[in-house]
Amino acid sequence: MLIISNYHYIRPSFNSEFPSIYGLTPKEFENQLIKLRNLGEFISPQDLLTNFEDVLQRKEAFFLVTFDDGLKEQIFYALPILEQLKIPAIFFPNSINHKENKVSTVHKIHLLRSVMSSQDFLIRLSLEQSGLTEKEKERAKEVYIYDDKDSAILKFILNYKLNYHQQEKIIAPIFNLFFDENEKKEELYMTEAHLKELASKGYLGSHTHSHYPLGLLEPDVVLTELQVSKSYFEKLTNKSINFLAYPYGTEEVCTAEVAELAKKAGYEIGLTTKRGMNTIHENPLLLKRFDCNDLPGGKSYRDLKNEIFN
């Protein structure tokens, strides 16, 4: 079986005035890898590609370590630990950060939320919670059970009420009031040299061009998102890019049609964020993947223990 563990932010401290960025410290990351090592074997992207059917059919656990969003801190804090423990991994950046020198809207939102309260953010958006119906407010609470009321409503408005064009248009001017896009881009994302280094180890995949929720877009836009990033990374690194991680990765964005388009664009493996292990009969373009918190050593592992290793 194949168990995929996914990481985003890895940094020594997550302190900010308004906590909005969550992840693992390098120590927590290392501890988790050591725990997983006792439960199975780590597999490299290349070995997985070559032995796909066999790995899925085997009784033993094979772990694939993955990182989304192409963050520089993954190179600074996670890569040295991986090298020291001789554990392979794969990293999924977006090409928009390099090709267009932009900060992805999803990260603009994370950064803005770290400098203002959800209530202030709602006011800035000029989208007050009164714009939601009572039913929508209830739904917001159900979807974001770990958030306070204002945060749940803010997230619900951003993610469910606005499409990505509206989101981009609304967020960009607010972001520019607080941050310098170029500076943040340099600070947040890997450099092209990092991407080349990862590709030379066989550690580079694509997280599409712009980090859009693919399943909600027109097929031609989806195909462009998939192709542009693939060819950008391939030209840059001179390596073929066969792995894809779908942004957000939920069921509504990873449809069968999106998987077909990914295949058409030339990808061989596609990773969702649908929780679960991969055994026989998986569509290689719709593999399941755990958030690192759901696996041994993670913050929510206790609740899932029986589901994963029984």
- Binding track over 246-275 against Zn ion, x by CB under 5 A: -x----------------------------
Distance CA(30)–CA(303), nearest Å, equals 22
Piece of 169-177, 189-197, 244-252, 297-305 that binds Zn ion (CB under 5 A): 244-252
30 belongs to the binding site for Zn ion (CB under 5 A): no
CB closest to Zn ion, residue no: 68
- Interface pick for Zn ion out of 33, 67, 68, 75 (rule CB under 5 A): 68
- Chain centroid, CA 99 distance in Å: 19
Q: Which is nearer to Zn ion, 95 or 129 (CB)?
A: 95
Q: How far is the CB of 40 from Zn ion (least distance, A)?
A: 25
Q: How far is the CB of 94 from Zn ion (least distance, A)?
A: 7
Q: How far is the CB of 70 from Zn ion (least distance, A)?
A: 9
Distance CA(8)–CA(145), nearest Å, equals 21
The CA distances from residue 269 to 38, 89, 242, 246, 284, in Å, are 26, 14, 6, 11, 5
- Interface pick for Zn ion out of 5, 64, 69, 87 (rule CB under 5 A): 69
Cα dihedral across residues 59, 65, 249, 263: positive or negative: negative
Judged on CB neighbours under 10 Å (0-12, 13-18, 19+), 268 is middle
Q: Which is nearer to Zn ion, 68 or 225 (CB)?
A: 68
Q: Judged by CB under 5 A, how many residues of this single chain contact Zn ion?
A: 3
Piece of 64-72, 73-81, 109-117, 258-266 that binds Zn ion (CB under 5 A): 64-72
Q: How far is the CB of 249 from Zn ion (least distance, A)?
A: 8
Distance CA(308)–CA(310), nearest Å, equals 6
Q: Which is nearer to Zn ion, 201 or 289 (CB)?
A: 289
Q: Which is nearer to Zn ion, 127 or 222 (CB)?
A: 222
Check if the beta carbon of residue 209 is closer than 8 Å to that of residue 228.
yes
Q: How far is the CB of 309 from Zn ion (least distance, A)?
A: 27
Piece of 138-146, 219-227, 239-247, 275-283 that binds Zn ion (CB under 5 A): 239-247
Distance CA(43)–CA(159), nearest Å, equals 34
Q: How far is the CB of 298 from Zn ion (least distance, A)?
A: 18
Alpha helices in 86-207 (DSSP H): 96-99, 105-115, 118-124, 134-143, 149-156, 164-178, 181-188, 192-200
Distance CA(149)–CA(1), nearest Å, equals 40
Q: 3-class secondary structure for 43-87?
A: CCHHHHHHCHHHHHHCCCCEEEEEEECCEHHHHHHHHHHHHHHCC
Q: Which is nearer to Zn ion, 247 or 296 (CB)?
A: 247
Piece of 62-70, 162-170, 220-228, 234-242 that binds Zn ion (CB under 5 A): 62-70
**Size of the chain in residues:** 310
List residues near Zn ion by CB under 5 A: 68-69, 247
